[in-house]
A = this chain, B = another copy of it.
Amino acid sequence: MPIQRRHLLKTLAATALAAPLAAPAIAQTAPQITWRLSSSFPANLDLLYGGATSFAQYVKEASDGRFQIQIYAPDEIVPALSNLDAVQAGKVDACHTTLAYFWGKDPTFAIPTGLPFGMNARMTNAWFYEGGGNDLVNEFLAPYSAFALPVGNTGAQMGGWFVNPIHSLAEMKGLRIRCGGLTGSLLERLGAKPDNSPMADIRGHLANHELDGVEFVSPYDDEKLDLAKVAGHYYYPGWWQPSSAQHIVMNLAKWQGLPKAYQAMVQNAAAQANLAVQARYDARNPAALRRIVTQGTKLHDFPADITDAAYKAALEIYKNASASNPKFKKMLDAYMTFRDDQYLWWQVCEYTYDNFLIRQRAKESG
């Protein structure tokens, strides 16, 4: 072996001996990780489902492909409504859902998603990030071995599709309305009959008059239901969902075990997804609404006595739940105190400005 080559080998060997000290340091801060994330939303609801795919993409890009999050549709690993159990058991690393889906376990789950007569979407974000909301949500989720971050919002939703127009509270009596969770309790107090039929059956049920109405999301998603011909009366606003937030819910130990840089990437990516999903709904809803109306669907606002009665019913539900559930009371009180403060300020600039512009545009268009 020529002397030069031997020297080179020695040097390389010394480098190699040093390497085991350095390499793990890099490996620790930027390990290759693959997570499984189960979605509670069907892929054809592309904006909701897309909150998770965008989130995963942002994390993948920021980590240079080292942190991969694989998205599974409902039932690929677990059913949509078993996602929280699966996260808690570590069967999946994370899920993408609206926390309200789990209100049957505890009504407190409904609050972070958005409450009837609660805050609008921007206020909800102020509460999450700067009003202690995210901390309260995660304190509540800790016993479920879960840690959640907001990753999207639909904004205020529509009030749903009805076979016949509704002229007063009296006409709500007996109406069979497909709706979810807390909204069912609310509509029940107005005399309606909440229904849980699978979404796939809705159109048929409305056509056969087995159902009188259905509440879903907002124009962009609702358009896909193709309900114009079977339920041509479209009501607004969905006071039961003035904000509907989605969350990434991670197994707490998995979250805590992430390198700090990956935790930062997850937080940044979740924030970007939160902005992106809201922006996608906002950007697409106007054209969808225009198409819906052009096809002959009639737009109505709810009669005042219905909204007033719903408001009273919501207060009763909150009072009852607060009396029997200290966790609900704690989160509700924080949420409602923040809401009242937000509307105090909102009515001064945001609302007054929106009001002027909406009136001005109405004048201009005739």
Binding site for B on A (CB under 8 A): 9, 12-13, 15-17, 19, 26, 29-30, 58, 61-64, 117, 120-123, 125-131, 155-158, 218-219, 236-239, 242, 259-261, 263-265, 267-269, 271-272, 274-276, 278-280, 282-287, 289-290, 299, 301, 307, 311, 340-358, 360-361
Pick from B275, B289, B353: contact of A156, CB under 8 Å: B353
Please, which residues of chain B bring their CB within 8 A of the CB of A61? 260-261, 263-264
| Given A16-B15, A265-B265, A361-B343, A64:B29 Cβ within 8 A | yes
Q: How far is the CA of A238 from the CA of B352 in the complex (A)?
A: 10
**Is the beta-carbon distance between B357 and A130 smaller than 8 angstroms?**
no
**Is the beta-carbon distance between B13 and A9 smaller than 8 angstroms?**
yes
**Is the beta-carbon distance between A352 and B237 smaller than 8 angstroms?**
yes
Copies in the complex: 2
| Given A16-B12, A130-B280, A283-B130, A349:B218 Cβ within 8 A | yes
Pick from B128, B156, B275, B348: contact of A350, CB under 8 Å: B156
**Is the beta-carbon distance between A121 and B120 smaller than 8 angstroms?**
no
Tell me how far the C-beta of A276 lies from the nearest C-beta in chain B, rounded to whole angstroms: 6
**Is the beta-carbon distance between B301 and A352 smaller than 8 angstroms?**
yes
**Is the beta-carbon distance between A19 and B15 smaller than 8 angstroms?**
yes
Main secondary structure of the interface of A (DSSP, over half): helix
Residue of B nearest to A356 (CB): B307
CB pairs A–B below 8 angstroms (6 shown): A19-B19, A120-B353, A122-B122, A130-B283, A237-B352, A239-B353
Given A129-B279, A131-B283, 16 more pairs with CB closer than 8 A: A12-B12, A12-B13, A13-B16, A29-B64, A58-B267, A61-B263, A62-B62, A122-B282, A126-B278, A126-B282, A236-B349, A237-B350, A237-B353, A237-B356, A271-B275, A311-B360
Please, which residues of chain B bring their CB within 8 A of the CB of A26? 26
**Is the beta-carbon distance between A120 and B13 smaller than 8 angstroms?**
no
Q: How far is the CA of A263 from the CA of B268 in the complex (A)?
A: 13
Tell me how far the C-beta of A85 lies from the nearest C-beta in chain B, rounded to whole angstroms: 30
Q: How far is the CA of A62 from the CA of B30 in the complex (A)?
A: 11
Tell me how far the C-beta of A348 lies from the nearest C-beta in chain B, rounded to whole angstroms: 5
Question: Sorted from nearest, which 3 A-B pairs have the closest CB atoms?
Answer: A61-B264, A271-B272, A268-B268
Please, which residues of chain B bring their CB within 8 A of the CB of A16? 12-13, 15-16, 19
**Is the beta-carbon distance between A345 and B19 smaller than 8 angstroms?**
no
Please, which residues of chain B bring their CB within 8 A of the CB of A122? 121-122, 155, 278, 282
**Is the beta-carbon distance between B348 and A289 smaller than 8 angstroms?**
yes
**Is the beta-carbon distance between B261 and A268 smaller than 8 angstroms?**
no
Tell me how far the C-beta of A56 lies from the nearest C-beta in chain B, rounded to whole angstroms: 12
Q: How far is the CA of A331 from the CA of B354 in the complex (A)?
A: 22
Pick from B218, B236, B268, B343: contact of A358, CB under 8 Å: B343
Q: How far is the CA of A16 from the CA of B301 in the complex (A)?
A: 73
Tell me how far the C-beta of A48 lies from the nearest C-beta in chain B, rounded to whole angstroms: 15
| Given A9-B9, A13-B9, A64:B30 Cβ within 8 A | yes
**Is the beta-carbon distance between B155 and A350 smaller than 8 angstroms?**
yes
